Chain A
Amino acid sequence: MSRFSFLRTTTFRLAAFHLGLFILSVAVVLAVVYWFTAGFINRHTEETVLREVQELSNAMNDRGRIGLLRLISERAGDQRSDMIYAVASPTGEIIAGNLANWPLPNTAAGWIEFEIKNRGEPGRKRAAVAIILPVRDLGWLLVGHDMTDRYLLRGQILLGMIWAVSLALVIGIIGAVYMSRRVAERVEKINRTIDRITAGAFADRLEVTGSGDEIDRLVTKLNRMLDEIGRLMLGMRQVTDNVAHDLRTPLSRLRARLELAQLEPDLPDAQVATLEQAIAEIDRLLGVFNAILTIAAAETGRARADFEPVDLSALVAEVAELYEPLAEEKGLTLELANADPVSVRGSRQLLAQLASNLVENAVKYASPGGHVQVAAGHDLASGRPLLSVADDGPGIPADQRDKVLERFVRLEAHRGTPGHGLGLSLVAAVARLHDADLLLDDHRPGMEQPGLRVSLRFPG
């Protein structure tokens, strides 16, 4: 797993999505809280101001202008209070109160927000909210509240909320990365184990953490499936072993009896010939039988456990060398093209058998005086290791190519030539064992004798 590929994993995407939703809901909750808090502060300020106005208006009613002014100067003198009072003449000159200047150039009734200068520490501005009312025979009355502390509180709340959201975001991201990494690592571990198992380590099982979560349940089921596959493979192996034993033993006896019969002195020539033919038939049967067993063994994939690096170029050269005298005897030219050294992981014996089957077929079907080409190298298009054997014989029609890979299938045209129809199925089974793509095509397309080219492209 590359360092950041967990960012692409399903778990991380899910975690990121949930994190997004979570942050959004936290933000909404905090916004509502803020909205209510801020509203409460404003309402509380307004209520306080209006209560004060009520008291002042009562004083005015009871004791007239003098009473009002006295009460205002009394209240304005209280240093601990946050209340602001001002009485101004209709032209805006301050008559009483704790405000140095009338805050607005144009006086009108209603709520205002303004800034106070030079109250408390000079040079520092303070926010205030106030109501301005007209007073009969006097001018204007301003009753307000210094908002500095309240706005400070509001700011602190807002700041706290921003911090809370940011912290939640950071913790959420760390959590999402950690969680998705953990899950991704578990999945990656499972992938690695499965790779090992398909590569031949059939005894390996996926690790169950014991947490009983859904991955554990999935892993348990996969393990059960692997057990089942193992059981089937063992069954298949036992069947082939038993078939091998139960058929080979009587064949051994039969062959032994015939060989012993051959040892009898004074046999007529005709009987010697019959015995020899019978033994040859048994050996042919044995050839079929061995091919079936090899195919079966290749198909179980068990041989993958013993895979080793195989020098494909050397292997192809050896097989070509093995068949070269036979080709020459038949008047054929066997060309070897393996200038580009290449190796693959595999079973040397099975690959040699595969190459030998292909060359044998090519030598069998090549036109008299023709060519057989054996090549190992890298595929030009994909760069994958490539093994190919081609002849200039009659070839195989495109619609019958899949058929020849099946067991015991021999094309009508070839009934006369010796063989058991398992050569190419063995090639197919060995190719599958090595994860190689097997391709049959015309060696010389368009010609009267198109020839057959069999190529294997191994995993890169």
Chain B
Amino acid sequence: MKILVIEDDRATADYLIKGLKEAGHVVDHADNGRDGLFLAASEPYDALVVDRMLPGRDGLSLLEVLRATGNDTPALVLSALGSVDDRVKGLRAGADDYLTKPFAFAELLARLEVMQRRTKGAGSGGPVTKLQIADLEMDLLARTVKRAGKPVDLLPREFQLLEYLLRNAGNVVTRTMLLENVWDYHFDPQTNVIDVHIARLRQKIDKDHAVPLIHTVRGAGYSLREPV
């Protein structure tokens, strides 16, 4: 991916650039809103990482201008302001995702990749009715799941959880992403309730099968992927 990082804090920018490069992406950097807007408008990028508080032009107005000119490059806003209404303002300004500082790099990476996949997949034909990976099949219309041809009985929430994992198969999804997208909760419970839900899902999907599909990614979250 070709990613533009617009971040004025030197240390955070260095860390983002280093981390993203290490993950195999091409990174450009602007340290103020004006230059950032110029670069974002003049070059094609796969994703933007925009700090909310920037010198020159703040991140949200930068996005508003960009969206007003018809540029819809997926953008993730980074901010030290984390309350629910700050988040809502960010999404209204045209951000595709919103991440509160400080964040784990794995979280940022996972979100960028999911965001990228979502915008790419958006244009391809009609609505998806079936999701599949290896021998795991999900029928979105009949609301049924089969593993190796055998039906798997899932509770509604487990179904949603598996659907999110399937839609982002091959990518890492973090616990926060699951809480936000499956439960629509924008706060972090003190205990890791998500792990228990995943453990239950694993029981139903991977137990009795030689090849596991749900993988734990250390320090990041979970990934549903095909056996290599």
Contact = CB atoms under 8 A, between A and B. Distances in A.
B85 A306 contact: yes
Given A251-B101, A253-B11, A360-B190, A245 B200 contact: no
B80 A249 contact: yes
A256 B15 contact: yes
Q: Which of B82, B190, B200 has the most CB of A within 10 A?
A: B190
A63 interface: no
Interface in A292-337: 293-294, 297, 302-303, 306, 318, 321-323, 325-326, 329
Interface residues of B, number: 36
Contacts of B26: none
A260 interface: yes
B120 interface: no
Contact of B15 (A260, A322, A418): A260
B193 interface: yes
Interface in A216-264: 241, 244-245, 248-249, 251-257, 259-260, 262-263
Interface in B73-124: 80-85, 100-105
Interface in A274-296: 276, 279, 282, 286-287, 290, 293-294
Contacts, number: 108
B185 A349 contact: yes
Interface in B2-56: 9, 11-12, 15-16, 18-19, 22, 53
A318 B187 contact: no
Contacts of A254: 102
A323 B191 CA distance: 10
A103 interface: no
A263 B105 CA distance: 11
Contacts of A245: 53, 80-81
A352 interface: yes
Contact of B189 (A253, A262, A356): A356
Nearest to A329: B196
A248 B52 CA distance: 13
Contact of B9 (A249, A262, A352, A364): A249
Nearest to A246: B80
A455 interface: no
A367 interface: no
Contact of B103 (A252, A257, A357, A360): A252
B188 A321 contact: no
Contacts of A388: none
A293 B157 CA distance: 30
A364 B193 CA distance: 12
Given A322-B183, A325-B196, A418-B190, A259 B19 contact: yes
Given A287-B188, A347-B84, A257 B15 contact: yes
Given A259-B105, A290-B82, A325 B18 contact: no
B199 interface: yes
A349 B187 contact: yes
Nearest to B190: A360
A321 B190 contact: no
Given A244-B82, A251-B101, A303-B85, A287 B190 contact: yes
B197 interface: yes
Interface in A357-416: 357, 360, 363-364
Contacts of B15: 253, 256-257, 259-260
Ranked nearest first, the 6 interchain pairs of A and B with the lowest CB-CB distance are A256-B15, A252-B102, A248-B80, A245-B80, A325-B196, A253-B11
Interface of A: 241, 244-245, 248-249, 251-257, 259-260, 262-263, 276, 279, 282, 286-287, 290, 293-294, 297, 302-303, 306, 318, 321-323, 325-326, 329, 347, 349-350, 352-353, 356-357, 360, 363-364, 418-420, 423
Given A248-B102, A276-B219, 10 more contacts: A245-B53, A252-B12, A253-B11, A256-B102, A256-B105, A260-B19, A294-B83, A302-B85, A303-B84, A418-B190
